[in-house]
Structure formats: C-alpha cells, structure tokens
Amino acid sequence: MKTPYFLIHQELLQENIERFTQGMCANWNNSRFGYSVKTNSLPWLLSYVRLKGGLAEVVSDEEYDLALLCGFLPNEIIFNGPIKGKDKFYFALEHGSIVNIDSENEIRWIEEYEKPLSDLGIRINVPSEVFNSEDIEYTDEGFRFGFSVENGAFEKALKRISKKYDIRKIGLHLHCNSITRSKEVYRAIAKYTVGIIDKYNLEPRYIDVGGGFFGGVPGKTTINEYFSIISDEFKKCARTRQSLLIAEPGSAIVGSVIDLHTSVLDVKDTNCSHIVTTDGGRVYIDPQWFRTRYMYSVRSKSEKKYSGKQIVCGYTCMDHDRIMEIENELHLQMGDEIIYHRVGAYTVTFGGLFIKFLPEVYVSNNGETELIRSSMTVDEYYKIQSAGGR
C-alpha cells in the first residue's frame, strides 16, 4: 500500500457502533442514532452504518442524495441544517424523512406546502447560559443554529406551523457543539428540553440531542454515562414518555477507528531548523488547523534519537503546513513511516483536491485489507474541473 493512505479498523468501528446503540437503548428503550454524514461521508462507511442499524443525518441536498445512493431509505434519513434546497425539503417531507427546520425560509415553505404534513421537527437555539462556560465556545454571541425561545422566535415559528401541523407532537432538535464533550453539556441540554416541553405543553414525537460525544477513547465519558444522565432528566417529565430519543454521533463512531499512514520524503537542515517533509498534511488530519499534538507511531529501521527539535511538515508546499514539532525523539529518516492514530473525524473527506488528490482509503478486518476509495486520476480531475463531462 502506497502512502499516504487512511486505514479504517472495521472491528473498532463495529465496537463503537454497538456500544453506542447499546448505551442508548439501555437507558431509553425507544431510541435510534443517526450517523452524522459530514463527519466522514465515505460511501463504504455510510453503507456499513446502515447495515448496523443506524440512520443517516444529513445537512445538504448532496448528502441527502448520497445517503439514498448508499442504501438509506428516505425514512431512514434525518435532514438538518439551514441550507436545504426547497425541492429536496419537500421531497424529504413527502417521503417520511425526519426533517428539522432551521431557517425562516423553511417556515415559509411549510406555509406554502399544499399536502398534509405528517411529521416535522424544529431546531432550538439553546442559550449559552445553560452550559458551564468552559464547555462551550461563543459564550457571548451564542450558537448560530435553531430558533431561540428567549427572543420569541421559537414561539412565532410554532404559531405559523400550527396552521399546518399539530405542534404538540413537533420533534425537538438541540444539537450543540462543545469544546469538552462533557457529560454536563448533555445534562444541560436535557434539562433545558424538559423546561420547553413543560412551558409549551408539548409531547414531542422525538427529541434529538445531536452529536458531540466521545466514543472509543479510553478514559473518557462512556456512551452509557451520557445517556443515563439524559434519560434521568427526561424521566422527570411524563410528556417525554412516548418520545423517540435520537442522537447524531459522528466523532463517537469514526474518530477513533481511522489512522493516516504517511512517509518521510525528505530530511534537511535550514539555517535555523531541522525540517522533515512528509506526504502527510494538515489538510488530511487537522481541518481546523489548531492541533499541535497527535497520537502517532513511527516505523523506522533506525533507533537513533535526534537531539533537538524536528519539524514534521506536510506535502502542500505551504510554509505553514507544519504538522507537529517533536523534541528529542527518534531521528526521522527518508522512507520512515509516520502513522497518525484516531484521525477519522472531519478528515477523510474534508481535504480537497489541493496540489495532490485525496488519499486512498483501506479497511482492515480480520487481517484482510480492502481498498474502498481509490485516488482520483489527473484525467478524472481534468474532466470534472473543466466541466468536460457535461
């Protein structure tokens, strides 16, 4: 196998999915998870999640169609986000998808919709004050998604929707990104949800607590712990009794099960530094460009240490594509392999077609390895980028 390539460990993936499903069901019998497609939208992965009983959580028309192509039925798709197209929005409603509205636009589309509405959900803009400030970003400006209860937008939305739909049953969606993935985030979300259900006398058909969980990382909050906290809060409110509990894990499913294999292409000294150029890249493993440390291992013929700092860089020819700095570690040589572990979330499908094309992806299972994504050829790139196929 030629580097760079991603390697998915199928046994670990299966464990993460099973642990998630069991952790949810043990605490709330009526529950489903919808895998967050944006976290890693490889077709192989989507088909695998479906095989293992997951739904697909999508946030664009493209992701919706991809989920269909990978075998999900419309009623196995959760359609979220503020950028849905109108046609796909209506298609999703008509075909039984779980649709959570997240924009003023969509309320207008509901008003214009001429068919009976059998189901609908709405995303709530959870106020940052309900969380511990160290757990979240945007403590001052608040989250950007959903309808705010506090400024009246949620109530207005309900009133407008109520002309078409029995809003007592409306599904509630409350995904909030956190920095810490702390269980306290979910306690806060669950408590806040119960407050809203009480305030508006709702009996939601489902409550979707979103994603943002740890999964497959030793020492971190377990799926069972998250859902025991969530269900303890929900059980305090009789009107949640019939509700389906939905979660939308992405990182908890794939984050810990994928490695990136890279090779050292060159080693040299500049006047100031020791530079190690590799065929890896931050675009492959650090979409937000803020990480400075990784879990990694090295395969090398030598055991010699380098005294001082080695700057490990990526392939992109951008000076700031510096993956990590290592001090007094193994002296990296041309041909050595550096393997970055647990880099499966927001990476494999995130890097674009910049300078080199997306790396190949393999799956390992019971000692067998299978190629599941090949790299694009220059001819294919040329055709797509010059609209030559149209």
Ligand X SMILES: Cc1ncc(COP(=O)(O)O)c(C=O)c1O
* Nearest to ligand X of 13, 332 (CB atom): 13
Residue 345 interacts with ligand X (CB under 6 A)? yes
Q: For residue 208, is it left (φ>0), alpha (ψ between -120 and 50) or beta?
A: beta
Residue 210 interacts with ligand X (CB under 6 A)? yes
Closest to 62 (Cα-Cα) out of 360, 376, 349, 368: 349
* Nearest to ligand X of 248, 286 (CB atom): 248
User: How many helices (H) does the chain have, and how many strands (E)?
Assistant: 11, 17
Number of residues that bind ligand X (CB under 6 A): 16
Q: How far apart are the C-alpha atoms of 84 and 52, rounded to whole Å?
A: 27
With CB under 6 A as the contact rule, the residue among 60, 148, 177, 333 that binds ligand X is 177
Other CB atoms within 10 A of residue 96 CB: 14
Closest to 75 (Cα-Cα) out of 115, 108, 32: 32
Q: With contacts defined by CB under 6 A, name the span among 209-217, 328-336, 348-356, 366-374 that binds ligand X.
A: 209-217
With CB under 6 A as the contact rule, the residue among 211, 281, 351, 359 that binds ligand X is 211
Q: With contact defined as beta carbons under 8 Å apart, do 174 and 154 qualify?
A: no
Residue 125 interacts with ligand X (CB under 6 A)? no
- Residues, the chain, total? 390
What the block records as the tokens of 190 is: 């669950």
Q: Which of residues 61-100 bind ligand X (CB under 6 A)?
A: 80
Q: How far is the CB of 351 from ligand X (least distance, A)?
A: 17
* Nearest to ligand X of 247, 339 (CB atom): 247
Residue 135 interacts with ligand X (CB under 6 A)? no
Residue 249 interacts with ligand X (CB under 6 A)? yes
Residue 174 interacts with ligand X (CB under 6 A)? no
> Between 61-69 and 43-51, two packed helices, what is the crossing angle to 10 degrees?
60
* Nearest to ligand X of 251, 277 (CB atom): 251
Q: How far is the CB of 111 from ligand X (least distance, A)?
A: 24
Tell me the Cα Rg of the chain: 23
Residue 39 interacts with ligand X (CB under 6 A)? yes
With CB under 6 A as the contact rule, the residue among 146, 204, 250, 359 that binds ligand X is 250
Please confirm whether the linkage preceding 82 is cis (ω < 30° from 0): no
Residue 252 interacts with ligand X (CB under 6 A)? yes
Q: DSSP 3-state assignment of 278?
A: strand
Q: Which of residues 262-301 bind ligand X (CB under 6 A)?
A: none
Q: How far apart are the C-alpha atoms of 285 and 341, rounded to whole Å?
A: 10
Residue 233 interacts with ligand X (CB under 6 A)? no
Residues contributing to the site for ligand X (CB under 6 A): 36, 39, 57, 80, 175, 177, 210-213, 248-252, 345
